[in-house]
Amino acid sequence: MDSSMKVICMLMLLFASVVQASGCYDSIISFGDSLADTGNLLHLLRSNGHFVSSAAAFPYGETFFHRPTGRYSDGRLIIDFIAQSMGFPFVPPYIGVKNANKSNFIGGVNFALAGCPAMDPSSLAAMGIEDPFGSDASLGTQLNWFKEMLQTFCNTPSECKKYLQSSLVFLGEIGGNDYNGAFWQGIPIEEIKPLVPKVIATIASAINEVIEFGAETLVVPGNLPIGCSPSYLTYFMSSNESYYDSKTGCLNWLNEFTEYHNKLLQETLNRLRELHPHVTIIYADYKAAMELYNSPSKFGFNSTISACCGVGGPYNYNSNVGCKVPESSVCEHPSSYVSWDGIHLTEAAYKWIAHGLLKGTYMTPRISDACILKAPTISHCKETMKA
Give me the domains of the chain, ranges plus CATH numbers.
3-287+347-386 (3.40.50)
Maximum alpha-carbon separation in the chain: 73
Instruction: Residue 326: count other Cβ atoms within 10 Å of its Cβ.
Output: 6
pLDDT value of position 52 = 65
Indicate which residues carry an active-site annotation. Answer: 34, 341, 344
Instruction: With a cut of 60, say whether residue 10 has pLDDT above it.
Output: no
pLDDT class for 18, splitting at 50, 70, 90?
very low
Task: Write down the pTM of the prediction.
Answer: 0.91
pLDDT value of position 381 = 47
Cβ atoms of residues 210 and 280 within 8 Å? no
At 220, is the secondary structure helix, strand, or coil?
Answer: strand
pLDDT value of position 97 = 85
pLDDT value of position 22 = 53
Instruction: With a cut of 80, say whether residue 56 has pLDDT above it.
Output: yes
Q: Rounded to whole angstroms, how far apart are CA atoms 68 and 289?
A: 25
The bridge status of strand 329-330 relative to strand 280-284 is: unpaired
Instruction: With a cut of 50, say whether residue 33 has pLDDT above it.
Output: yes
Angle between helices 195-213 and 139-153 (to 10 degrees): 10
The angle at the Cα of 215, spanning 213 to 219, to the nearest 5 degrees, equals: 135
The arithmetic mean of pLDDT across residues 61-85, rounded, is 97
Q: Rounded to whole angstroms, how far apart are CA atoms 43 and 50?
A: 9
Structure letter (DSSP) for residue 91 = P
pLDDT tens for each residue of 134-148? 778 999 999 999 999
pLDDT value of position 49 = 65
The mean predicted confidence, pLDDT, of the chain is: 90
Instruction: With a cut of 50, say whether residue 13 has pLDDT above it.
Output: no
**Contacts by 193-198, CB closer than 8 A, 24 or more apart:** 193/257, 193/260, 195/127, 195/129, 196/260, 196/261, 196/264, 197/264, 198/119, 198/123
Q: Rounded to whole angstroms, how far apart are CA atoms 367 and 370?
A: 5
pLDDT value of position 38 = 97
